[in-house]
Structure 1
C-alpha cells in the first residue's frame, strides 16, 4: 500500500499504524551494518531461488515431452516465449521497483507479495489437468507466465536489496558468501534431488515438497529483508519523475555498467558453454557413460563452496575490479586443463580447478555491480538498484544465445552427426572439436571478458576511495546527470 508524499496513512488504516506486530514489521529500517542473523537470513533466500530455477530449467522439458507426451517442437516454442518474457520483465520490474516507494519500502512489498504466487505457480507447472497436447501447451504458457512474473518480482528485488543492506565492499564480500553457498546447495539439490523425488513419490508430490521447503526458506529470509531509512518526501518525486525510457538510456550510457555487463555476459556464456559441452566431452573425449557427466560436474560444485570464502577475502583486500581480473585469469587457465585428460577421473580433477574460478564469478560479479550502483548514486543522487539488476538480467540472458551459437558452430565444424545412434561412430574430428569447445573456446571468451574489466573505470575498493580517475570523472560528469537533475541530457 502506498501513501501520499507526506507519509500519512489513508483513512481506515489506523489499526495498521498502531504498535502491533504488522506495524513493527512494516516500519523496520536498517541503520548501520546488518546483524549476523540478518546476513544469514538474507543469504537463505538464494536456496529456494536456485532450487526452483534449477529444477525448472533442468527437468521441465523432459516432464512435458517424455512424461506428458507433448511435441518437443511445441515445448521448445513455449520455452522460447518463457525466455523472452523473462528477459523483458527484468528491466520493467526493476524500473517500477525503483520508482514506487511505499510505507513498507520499495523492495520488500514485491518480495512479500510475490513469494506465494511464485511457489504456487512453480508447483502447478508439475500438476497439469488431464488435457490433450494443445491444452497442456496452453496450461504451460499461462502457468509459466505467472511463474516468470513472480520469480522476477521476488528475485530481482532481493538482489536489488543487496547493495542497500551491505554498503561497503567488505560488508558485501562477507554478506555474499552465505548467499552464494545457499545458492550452490539449492542448485545441487535442484539437479540431483529432484530426480530422486519424482522417481520415488511422483511429480506431483515432488512439486509439493519443493514448494513447501522453498516457502519456508523464503519466509525465513524475510527477517533479512530490511531497507534503510531515507527522506522519502525529498526523493519520492524525483524517483517517480525518471521514466523507463530515460532509465534505460542513462543506464546503458554508463561506461562502468557497459564494461561490467559485457564482461558479465561473456563470463556467463563461458559457464554455459562448459556445462553444455560436458555431456559431449564425457562420451566422445574420455569415453565414459552418459551418467559419468555427474562425476565431471560434481567436483565443480564441491570446489566452489569453500572457494567462495577465499574469494571473499580477496575482494576485501584488493577491491572488485582487481579481484575480477584475478578470477578471470584463474577461471580461464583452469578450463585449459580440459585439453589434457583422457579419463573421467582426469576430467573430474580438472573440474576442481574450474570450480575455484566459478566460485570467484559468483562472489565478485554482484559486488562489482553494487559498486556501479554506488557510483551512479554519487552522480544522480538516486538509488537505482532495480534498474541496474534488471538491465543486467536482460543482457545476460543472451548467454543462452552465445552458448547455442558456439556449441552448434564447433560441433558443425568438427563433422558431428546430429541424432546419430549409439552404434554410429562419429568422425575422430568430433573428439578434437569437443575438447576445444571445453578447453579453448572458454579461454577466448575469458580473454574478451578480461579486456572488458580492464577497461572498467571503477578502480578502487568500492568504499568511496576514488574509484574513478579525476580526468575520467570530469569527462563523465559532462555527459551524466547531476544529483539535482536525474534525467540524462
Structure 2
C-alpha cells in the first residue's frame, strides 16, 4: 500500500475512536426521525394519499442519488485550513436541522387548502433533508478509513459508532411514538385531540437541535490526515469510470442498497404495523421498536466477536441470509408479545449487518487508494450512496402496492385489509430484498485487510479474501 494510504494517519495526532464514533449519534437522530415517522406523519396524520407520497419519495430518492457523488467529489477536492471534511459536516448539520424542523412544522394554511400544496411542502423539505443528510454522511463515512487505517482499530471505531447509532435509535425511533402521540401530543383517534401533529413538531425541534450539536462537537474534535489532503485531487469523470469498473463496488454496493431498502421499510412501516396489524397504539409501537433496538445492541457485541475471530467477509456472508430470514416471524405475530419475539429475531439479523457492512466498504476504499495512489473516500462512498439512496424506489413501489393489492391508501382510507397489507410490507418485502442480497453476496470477493501499524496480522486464520 502507498505511504499516503498506510502511514498518514500515524504522522499527526490520532483521533479517539470514541470522539469519532459519537458523531453517529448526531447523524442518526434526525434521519431516523425522518425515516421512521415521515410517512406516518404525512399519510396517517395529515391524510396524504400513499400513492402521492410514494411518487414524491421516488423522485427525491433519484435526486439524492445524483447529488451523492457530487458531494463526495467536492469533499475529496477541498483543501482548507479546517480540513477536507469538517466544513461540510458543520454546514450539513445546520442545514439538516432547519430542513427537518420545517418538514414537520407544516403550516395550518398548507394542510387546510389543497392536497397539491401539502405535497409541494413535503417534496421541498424532504429533498432538502435528504440532501443535507447526504452531505453529512459523504464526509462522515469518508473519515472512517482515513482516521483508522488498521482494521482492528477500525473495527473498534465502527462498533462504537454503531452502538451510538443504536442508542440514537432508542430515542429517535423507539421513544418517538409515545412521546409524539402521548406525552407531547395526542392520538389522532382520540376525539379530544385537536392537533395530532403537535407532538411531532415538538420532537422535530428537540431532535434537530440535539443532532446538530453532537455532529458539530464531533467535527471540531477530529484530526484529519494531512498526507491525504496533500495528495493529488481526484478527477470526477476519471474517478467515476474507475469506480464503476471495480468489481467490489457492484457486489458490496448492491447488497448494501438492498439491506438499506429493507431497513427503510421496517423503520417507516412499524407504526402502521402496530396500528393495523396488532391493533395497538403509541405505547405498543414504542415497546416493539425498543425491543428491536436493544436486541441489536446486545447481538452487535456478539457479531463483533465473530468478526474478530472469523473476519469481516465471512461474517458478512453469514449475516445477510440471517437478516433475510429474521423478518419472516413478523408476518405471524398477532399480539404484542408475539411481535416482541419476532422483533428479537430482527435484532439478530440487523446487528450482523451493522457489524460488517461498513467494514466491507472500507476495505474497498483501501484497495482503491493502493491501486490508484489517491485518497478519494468521499466520492467512492458517495458512489455506494447512489445505490443506497435509490432504495427509495423499491420502498415507494412497495408502499404504492398496498393500495393496488390491499386497498390501503391513507389513514383516512385504510380499506378492509390494512392488517394484512402491513404484515406483507414488514415481512415479505424485506425478506425478498435480502434474499436477493444473499445471492449477490455469494459472488463477492474483497482485497486483503490492512495490517496494524505494528505489523501484526489483521486477518483471522483462514479468511478468504480473493476468489
TM-score relative to the length of structure 1: 0.74
SS in 1 for 2:303: helix
Does residue 309 of structure 1 match 2:301?
yes
The Cα offsets for residues 413-464 of structure 1, whole Å up to 9 and x where unpaired, read as xx5233599997549xx85x86666555544433332232221111644548
Q: CA separation in 2, counterparts of 1:207 and 1:347?
A: 28
Q: 2:388 aligns with which of 374, 382, 396?
A: 396
Work out which of the residue numbers 348, 360, 364 in structure 1 matches 2:352. Answer: 360
- C-alpha change, 1:87 and 1:272, in structure 2 (3 Å) is same
How many angstroms does 1:339 deviate by? 5.4
The answer to whether 1:456 aligns with 2:434 is no
C-alpha displacement of 1:69: 8.5
| Contact preservation (8 Å) 2:299, 2:352 | yes
- Give the C-alpha shift of residue 261 in structure 1: 0.7
- Once residues 273 and 208 of structure 2 are traced to their aligned partners in structure 1, the CA distance between those partners, rounded to angstroms, is 34
Q: How does 1:225-244 map to 2 (within 5 A)?
A: 225-230=222-227, 235-236=231-232, 239-240=233-234, 242-243=235-236
| 1:172-195 deviation digits (Å, cap 9, x = unpaired) | 221112211221222232232461
Q: Does 1:418 align with 2:404?
A: no
User: Quick one: structure 1 residues 142 and 169, their matched pair in 2 at CA, closer, same or farther if it must change by over 3 Å?
Assistant: same
RCO higher in structure (CA 8 A, sep ≥6)? 2
Tell me, yes or no, if the aligned pair for 1:38 and 1:223 is still in contact at 8 Å: no
Deviations 1:16-42 (A, max 9, x none): xxxxxxxxxxxxx9537986x822221
**Structure 1 residue 85: deviation in Å?**
2.9
Q: Which residue of 2 aligns with 1:20?
A: none
Compute the TM-score of the two structures, normalised by the length of structure 2. Answer: 0.77
Residue 143 and residue 174 in structure 1: after superposition, are their counterparts in 2 closer, same or farther (change >3 A)?
same
Encode CA deviations 1:335-388: one digit per residue, 9 max, x unaligned. 343455453312211211210211111221111100010111111111121112
CA contact (8 A) 1:458 1:468 kept: yes
- Judged with a 3 Å threshold, the aligned counterparts in structure 2 of structure 1 residues 119 and 30 are, in CA distance, closer, same or farther, namely farther
Choose from 294, 297, 309 the match for 2:289.
297
Partners of 2:36 and 2:318 lie apart in 1 by 31
Task: Report the CA distance shift for 1:88/1:425 in structure 2 as closer, same or farther (over 3 A).
Answer: closer
Residues 34 and 166 in structure 1, CA contact (< 8 A), matched pair in contact too: no
Shift of 1:328: 1.6
Q: Deviations over 1:459-487 (max 9, x none)?
A: 64454879754xx7xxxxxxxxxxxxxxx
Taking the TM superposition and a 5 Å limit, the aligned residue runs for 1:153-232 are 153-191=135-173, 192-193=175-176, 195=180, 198-199=184-185, 205-230=202-227
Question: What is the aligned residue count?
Answer: 430
The residue matched to 2:185 in structure 1 has which SS? helix
Cα distance 1:222–1:274, how it changes in 2: closer, same or farther (>3 A)? closer
Q: Verify the 8 A CA contact 2:407 2:415 in the aligned structure 1.
A: no
**Structure 2 CA distance, aligned partners of 1:439 and 1:144?**
26
Name the residue aligned to 2:251.
259
- C-alpha distance in structure 1 between counterparts of 2:295 and 2:264, whole Å: 18
The corresponding residue for 2:81 is 103
Aligned to 1:447: 435
Q: Contact 1:319/1:462 (CA < 8 Å) preserved in 2?
A: no
Give unpaired runs (5+ residues) of structure 2.
Answer: 1-7, 187-197, 452-457
Change (3 A) 1:249 1:224: same
Structure 1 residues 271, 111: CA separation in 2 closer, same or farther (over 3 Å shift)? closer
Q: 1:229 to 1:135 in 2, by over 3 A?
A: same
Aligned residues: CA RMSD: 3.9
Inter-CA distance 63–266: structure 2 relative to 1 (3 Å threshold) = closer
Q: Is the 8 A contact 1:34 1:165 kept in 2?
A: no
Contact preservation (8 Å) 1:161, 1:225: no
| 1:326 corresponds to 2:318 | yes
Check conservation: 1:42, 1:223, Cα contact below 8 A.
no
Q: Of residues 88, 92, 110 in structure 2, which corresponds to 1:114?
A: 92
- 46, 52, 61: which is aligned to 1:83? 61
8 Å contact kept, 1:184–1:301:
yes
- Report what 1:18 is aligned to: none
Verify the 8 A CA contact 1:98 1:385 in the aligned structure 2.
yes
1:140 CA drift (Å)? 5.6
